Amino acid sequence: MPLIEAKHLSKSYGALRAVHDVSFSVDRGEVVGFLGPNGAGKSTTMKMLTGHLRADAGAALIAGLDVAEEAVQAKQRLGYSPEGAPAYGEMTVREFLRFAADLRGLADPAGSVRRTLTLCRLEEVAAQGIDTLSKGYRMRVGFAQAVLHDPEALILDEPTDGLDPNQKHEVRRILKEMATTKAVIVSTHILEEVGELCTRVILIAKGEIRCDESREKFLARGTDPNAVFRRLTA
């Protein structure tokens, strides 16, 4: 059974067709690079997969559980970091993660928080207010809350957006470490990420899937990934 599954997902905002009949599935061990221009429907698809937005048609499944019908069970198996990594700014990093752990009803909340702080290299800012952190740290806090409960399915909306090259490298390193036991979807418009991180590419434009193939196949489409991207999304 795939850990993340989109079945004919569609969503419109008024007259605007944001996502149309999108289907794919992601298995354990896969890191899917979810590519597409801005406004292509990446975030909308992710919001439907995570149960934040209700699909007009189709279904989203996490570990075989429908996110609309069996929401709480599905969400226990899911880690999600929305675009911009929002967090409660007035809390400290540790308080925020502890709140997330308690809310998830984890058996050992203190231990989970400690392990996650180490994994995401957040120990030195653990006692700082999230509002006072630099963008790099804030993105990592968003990432930390997504992996806190060691979920089987991980969905990250532009986790490296706005990071400097060192920070990007760091996030990719952590992701690679974890990827073997999880199904991961990472949305991005940074094409170098495909080569470094992903095992598979799904490219979406104007709300429809334009290609869904292995990294090797995608990279073999041309020497300049940017040109390939422009051609496929035109």
Q: How far is the CB of 225 from other proteins (least distance, A)?
A: 30
**Residues between 149 and 168 with contacts to other proteins, criterion CB under 8 A:** 149, 152
Q: Which stretch binds other proteins (CB under 8 A): 97-105, 160-168, 199-207, 221-229?
A: 97-105
108 forms part of the interface with other proteins (CB under 8 A): no
Contact region for other proteins (CB under 8 A) — 81-89, 185-193, 204-212, 224-232?
Answer: 81-89
For the chain, give the DSSP string. Answer: --SEEEEEEEEEETTEEEEEEEEEEE-TT-EEEEE--TTSSHHHHHHHHTTSS--SEEEEEETTEETTTSHHHHHHTEEEE-TT----TTSBHHHHHHHHHHHTT-SSHHHHHHHHHHHTT-GGGTTSBGGGS-HHHHHHHHHHHHHTT--SEEEEESTTTT--HHHHHHHHHHHHHHHTTSEEEEEES-THHHHHH-SEEEEEETTEEEEEEEHHHHHTT-S-HHHHHHHHH-
State yes or no: residue 115 binds other proteins (CB under 8 A). no
126 binds other proteins (CB under 8 A): no
Contact residues toward other proteins (CB under 8 A) are 1, 3, 47, 50-52, 63-64, 71-73, 75-78, 80, 82, 84, 86-91, 99-100, 102-105, 107, 145, 149, 152
